Copies of this chain bind each other. A is one copy, B any other.
């Protein structure tokens, strides 16, 4: 019973020889278990509920580190705070549709898009490192009952 319960993020950290402090293990666990896109504050709250000995500054430093190591990706969905999510493998690369009525975030992936974006970058003379597509929309049903605006 040594490494059998490592979360994916903790495993990636170990692969990169990052020091695994108690705080980092908890933050890694929180992020690996999160299925949404938590803000730093939310990561801090979830981590604190597991281990009270974690400071907000450490969460900020840790997510920054994990982003630099390409373990996390950050998002800006337009509300002024950065949100974080585990980087997916190539096969799971996905994007987001933000429901402008409910604020709900829908993940999707699309192979045509994956191919197209490589092509676009190539035509511009670039090798693609990262990319993000965000769609903002309203449910088609609500076209008939226009809310505000």
**Which residues of chain A have a CB within 8 Å of any CB of chain B?**
74, 76, 78, 97, 99-100, 106, 108, 110, 112-113, 116-117, 120-122, 124-141, 143
* Distance between Cα atoms of A5 and B9 in the complex (Å): 57
Chain B residues within an 8 Å CB radius of A106: 124
| Secondary structure dominating the interface of A | strand
CB distance from A53 to the nearest CB of B (A): 28
Copies of the polypeptide in the assembly: 2
Chain B residues within an 8 Å CB radius of A120: 97, 108, 110, 113, 135
Whether the Cβ atoms of B125 and A135 lie closer than 8 Å is: no
Chain B residues within an 8 Å CB radius of A136: 128-131
* Interface residue from B112, B113, B128, B137 paired with A126 (Cβ < 8 Å): B137
Given contacts A129-B138, A132-B133, list 10 more A-B pairs with CB under 8 A. A76-B78, A97-B121, A110-B116, A121-B137, A126-B138, A127-B138, A127-B139, A131-B135, A131-B136, A132-B134
Whether the Cβ atoms of A124 and B97 lie closer than 8 Å is: yes
Whether the Cβ atoms of A127 and B133 lie closer than 8 Å is: no
CB distance from A124 to the nearest CB of B (A): 6
Chain B residues within an 8 Å CB radius of A110: 116, 120
Query: Which of chain B's residues has its CB closest to A100's CB?
Result: B129
Whether the Cβ atoms of B117 and A112 lie closer than 8 Å is: no
